[in-house]
A = this chain, B = another copy of it.
Amino acid sequence: MSPARSENDAQRGWIVPIGGAEEKINHPEILRRFVRVAGGEDARIAVIPTASQLEETGPNYVELFESLGAGAATSLPYRTRAETERKDWLDTLERSTAVFYTGGNQLRLSTVLGGTAVATQVRRLNARGVIVGGTSAGAAILPEHMIAYGETGSTPQAGMVSLTPGLGLTNRVMGDQHFRERDRLGRLLSALAYNPFAVGLGLDEDTAAFISPDNILRVQGSGAVTVVDVSKLTYSSVADIAEGKPICMTNVVLHILPHGGSFDLNTREPTQP
């Protein structure tokens, strides 16, 4: 039940959160890179469309991944907790070189998959080298701590964000998606203000953070990843203020990293493109 033993463990697979609305037709560079890291023509990608309520979501990604050169892709449309015991789908997962969670509602992912054999297996797969990624809700679910919902605006406020347990691939980062498009800096800062130990990742749409087994994050896409580093934070007032009041935070470090930029999660050093 502990998170994957990934710290400084180069056997761990890539972790790839995407900010949502990634380009699929004209310049699908994020998904193309995902297929490449997954093994290209040897890739076997398991698509989990549980967050979505649209029946076509899974098949659409299968078609997309195959058109981008993946050897094979299969949709595993888990809808109920009972289905997580299906042996044939667990076998498909076991043989995968990559797992991809689609967008939708992240609470549907956590309520259907949380605590099941599927969640455990995806963690084991990632720990032994399988790449795991997701977009929007599918990105939110990847870390140990997930932003379930919250309010918009750039100033952090007590109580503006609700956290729940995610699928626990790492607790080193906590992400927020559709970042610039939905004005979410405030809620990401609020989430970090409660316990300033993780690195915050604000992921714009059509933008991905490719996090390598040795914990180097590389940005791919048309927007930016806003890295929020609170390791130098000197003060957070959230323990002492009323709900709805702005949170005082001092010495928050931000890096706005567009395509080609990178960030070392071990040393917390950014590199410009």
- Chain A interface residue count, CB cutoff 8 Å, equals 48
Q: A114-B195, A238-B111 are in contact. Are A165 and B168 (CB under 8 A)?
A: no
Q: A2-B6, A108-B239, A239-B107 are in contact. Are A195 and B166 (CB under 8 A)?
A: yes
B1 & A239 in contact (Cβ 8 Å cutoff): no
Is residue A110 contacting chain B, with contact meaning CB distance below 8 A?
A: yes
Alpha-carbon gap, A195 to B233, bound state (A) = 30
Q: A115-B233, A144-B144 are in contact. Are A2 and B197 (CB under 8 A)?
A: no
What residue in chain B is nearest A174 (Cβ atoms)?
B165
Is residue A82 contacting chain B, with contact meaning CB distance below 8 A?
A: yes
B148 & A194 in contact (Cβ 8 Å cutoff): yes
A231 neighbours in B (Cβ, 8 Å): 115
Is residue A256 contacting chain B, with contact meaning CB distance below 8 A?
A: no
What residue in chain B is nearest A170 (Cβ atoms)?
B2
Q: How many copies does the complex hold?
A: 2
Is residue A196 contacting chain B, with contact meaning CB distance below 8 A?
A: yes
Alpha-carbon gap, A193 to B144, bound state (A) = 16
B194 & A110 in contact (Cβ 8 Å cutoff): yes
A165 & B159 in contact (Cβ 8 Å cutoff): no
Contact surface of A with B, Cβ cutoff 8 Å:
1-7, 80-82, 105, 107-108, 110-112, 114-115, 119, 144-145, 148, 159, 162-166, 168, 170-172, 193-198, 230-231, 233-240
Instruction: Known A-B contacts: A111-B236, A115-B197. Give 17 more (CB < 8 A).
Output: A3-B144, A5-B5, A80-B234, A81-B233, A107-B239, A111-B194, A111-B195, A111-B239, A114-B195, A114-B197, A115-B196, A144-B144, A145-B165, A148-B194, A164-B195, A165-B171, A165-B198
